[in-house]
Chains A and B, each alone.
Chain A
Amino acid sequence: MLRYVFRRLLTAIPTLFVIVTVAFFLIRVAPGGPFNQERGLSPEIRANLEAQFGLNDPLWLQYVHYLGNLLRGSFGPSYNLPDFTVTELFAKGLPISVQIGTSALVLALLLGSILGTIAALNQNKLADYSVIALATAGSTIPTFVTAPVIQLVFGLSWKLLPIGGWGDGALINKVGPVLTLALPQIAIVARLMRGSMIESLRSHHIRTARALGLSDWSVVVKHALRGAVLPIVSFTGPAAAALLTGSIIVETIFSIPGVGRYFVDAALNRDYTLVMGTVVVIALFTIVFNLIVDLLYAVVDPRVRYD
């Protein structure tokens, strides 16, 4: 098992290298540069800035420098927020995004699994149709619609929640963004769970359990659910990587100072170092969560062994 983990982490190195390389050159292909947008910047100052950040060097040399810095753990300074290094930006924003993302993920997994299981146990009955309708709504209504609606209803009309802001991480400030982020995920998990639970309930060993006169609880929870949970486990890896690295829509609408905005903002402003930082962070999250999921898989299913 340990050997497997070690091997997986080892293979992550070339993967990361390829991602970094492709991302580095891709963003440079885009026209413009970090200091183009700033109007009123005299050509001399711009030239000075570019020289200071080494942007006049040949591209390959910049690439080598970047790799070198990366190996030393430095993402470099942000071009557009020159008072901060990329590392500082992440140190501030990432914990916030991770908090919101984790809460949304846990909520989605719990609620989605329960809804999906209820639907599967009542296949083609009212409860099932209600869950399907909810799931369809949840995955079709975009977050930029649900977020303002939550602000309007819970914030403006009922005054139960603040309309936005982080409030230094007060619980009440998290409810809106977490809910917005979780809703589509709940829908996805519910649909996945319903499907795999229906299949699981039809399997031969469930028939055996029933023929042995085992209780409904044992049949459903011990025997059917454990098998049905496997697709959810697979889903959790990429979902966690996506949710924990922040959402631009949710963070913008609720004015949350997370890192979700960085990817888009940085890309638009050609803030090369911040783009690269975001790429590396998302890649790392993806790699780590996929590894965790694969290990979890082996915990749930004894047929999966990594040695």
Chain B
Amino acid sequence: MGTADMTAPETILSVKDLRVRFQTLDGTVEAVKGINIKVNAGETVAVVGESGSGKSQTMMAAMSLLSSNGEATGQVDYRGRNLLEMTKSELNKVRGRKISMIFQEPMTSLDPLYTIGNQLMEPIRRHRGLSAPAAREEALKLLRLVHIPDPERRMKSYPHEMSGGQRQRVMIAMALANDPDILIADEPTTALDVTIQAQILMLLAELQRKLGMAIVFITHDLGIVRRFADRVYVMRQGEVVEEGQAEALFANPQHAYTRMLLAAEPTGSKAPPPANSPVLLEGRNVEVVFKIGGGFLGGEPLMLRAVDKISVRLKRNQTIGIVGESGSGKSTLGRALLRLLPSDGVIRFGDRDISEADRQAMRPLRRELQLVFQDPFGSLSPRMTVGQVITEGLLVHEPSLTGKQRDQRAVEALREVGLDPNARNRYPHEFSGGQRQRIAIARAMILMPKVVVLDEPTSALDRSVQKQIVELLRKLQADHELSYLFISHDLAVVRAMADYIIVMKQGKIVEEGPTQEIFDNPREAYTQTLMNAAIDSTRFRISA
């Protein structure tokens, strides 16, 4: 998107030998290890890497936004002046005025207690000394610039009254309020739905054309890099391992890590189960209604139809991908089918009708119907050893096992998910996100289930780790003829995992069919939007 003047690019920001250290209980951790990065006027630079690569901390250090236990050394020169040596008041004349920043968390990055208008006017008044009415005019202009509908009304809105995409637009408006030289965008779309992601990226591109600022994209998403960046820095464990023009870097990656990143998209596809494969789990006209508000003297409650008469048939050895944006009801559907939520309609497991089964009746079936969650950090009890975590279900479902037999099963389950059996004596916090997700999978697998609902099992993981988890899940499916209900908003992963896809929106099925068909010929407009929004991050796969 950059239109940098190729003849004489003026370097406006240069990071020289930057080091960032954090004092932690385990001693000093060096997050950034002496890196060099430069940003020219008007260009788009991407800093790419997986979590823990130091890409965010580099820019946090430049903006003096490190947490209190962090310390930066080296140089971050903005137009010849070292930001790291500025006094706070000097720095506050640069931050928000010459260099501004937007963040990954649109939901929490705005102050929940003030109106949008108030928050927008504040940086304008501070940096330009405008009167309140003049700043208000400016704020309105900015809201129009970022295409917020009905800006007059929105000035009076509070952040919680807006969607994530709109809040990110407001963040962008605030960041651009004083026409900065550089906009640092730290994973600006990661927390948003795919269709919204695309809109925000388009907006940034459009604003860059209009306003001509340089953009520094901090991202793990190579699709964004490929599409928008002029130059790229690839970071790994606090170091820049490769840098160069985006085109050249994608065409001919030099460093093994860059090549690994580029190949990290999950690949392959799943063949459908044989036609005579029996239906294991079936839902007919499943309906989940949430009651909001109401109660004692509370008036009429609001009824929210989260799942609206949906029918699903999951066969043995089949993977159904359930796709949709946040709030589409896909997770609710998964939970309803496992009878973890009260629902209307018919649900059958094997040849049993479990629509009316209560907790007591469901308990023996639970071992065959397992669930793996998105959050590998929150779903494992921090006070239990991994061994205790994964064998807990055995206590309920196979109480006759001796401690020794349970331990043996734990060893087998851990081996099966590719972890060292010694892991069972350690605690969850000692493991990385990917390893924890393996532990969560082992906890489900130890019970030898027939159906596993996987609720965004890879969404919190880095791409390269995602690919490993996808491969693990596939292997487990092949070994045990498992049936998966794979809930995800990530089309690349769903495409690799599922043989059948259901697209959901607002509690309803928009479209369903075999994976290949859905991807090749999406019939519904919504599916097409979803595909188009996601396609850029899946198309660039290069042959290594």
Please state if B65 and A205 are interface contacts (CB–CB under 8 Å): no
B158: A residues at CB distance < 8 A: 302-303
- Identify whether the interface residues of A are mostly helix, strand, loop, or mixed: helix
Please state if A205 and B112 are interface contacts (CB–CB under 8 Å): yes
Please state if A205 and B160 are interface contacts (CB–CB under 8 Å): no
Of all chain A residues, which has the CB nearest B94?
A: A213
Residue from A207, A209, A211 whose CB has the most chain B CB atoms within 10 Å: A211
Tell yes or no: B454 within 8 A of A by CB. no
Tell yes or no: B174 within 8 A of A by CB. yes
Please state if B113 and A214 are interface contacts (CB–CB under 8 Å): no
Please state if A214 and B297 are interface contacts (CB–CB under 8 Å): no
Please state if A216 and B100 are interface contacts (CB–CB under 8 Å): no
Please state if A213 and B113 are interface contacts (CB–CB under 8 Å): no
Of all chain B residues, which has the CB nearest A219?
A: B92
Q: How many A-B residue pairs have CB under 8 A?
A: 85
Tell yes or no: B123 within 8 A of A by CB. yes
A300: B residues at CB distance < 8 A: 113
Those 3 A-B pairs whose CB atoms lie nearest each other, nearest first? A213-B96, A212-B96, A213-B95
Tell yes or no: A226 within 8 A of B by CB. yes
Known contacts A123-B68, A302-B158; decide if A214 and B110 are in contact (CB<8 Å): no
Q: List 6 A-B contacts (CB under 8 A).
A: A204-B108, A205-B108, A214-B123, A218-B122, A222-B114, A227-B111
Known contacts A227-B112, A301-B113; decide if A211 and B297 are in contact (CB<8 Å): no
Please state if B96 and A214 are interface contacts (CB–CB under 8 Å): yes
Q: Which of these, A11, A208, A223, A227, contacts B103 with CB under 8 Å?
A: A208
Tell yes or no: B126 within 8 A of A by CB. yes
CB distance from A186 to the nearest CB of B (A): 26
Tell yes or no: A10 within 8 A of B by CB. yes
Which residues between 59 and 84 of chain B lie within 8 Å of chain A, taking CB atoms? 63-65, 67-68
Which residues between 32 and 72 of chain B lie within 8 Å of chain A, taking CB atoms? 63-65, 67-68
B108: A residues at CB distance < 8 A: 203-205
CB distance from B168 to the nearest CB of A (A): 12
Tell yes or no: B141 within 8 A of A by CB. no
Given A205-B109, A213-B93, 12 other A-B residues pairs in contact with their CB atoms under 8 A: A7-B297, A11-B297, A204-B103, A205-B110, A205-B111, A210-B64, A211-B63, A211-B101, A213-B123, A218-B122, A302-B112, A303-B158
CA–CA, A123 and B69, complex, Å? 11
Q: Which of these, A207, A223, A226, contacts B65 with CB under 8 Å?
A: A207
Tell yes or no: A157 within 8 A of B by CB. no
Tell yes or no: A215 within 8 A of B by CB. yes
Please state if A213 and B91 are interface contacts (CB–CB under 8 Å): yes
CA–CA, A216 and B126, complex, Å? 12
Please state if B112 and A214 are interface contacts (CB–CB under 8 Å): no
B111: A residues at CB distance < 8 A: 205, 208-209, 223, 227
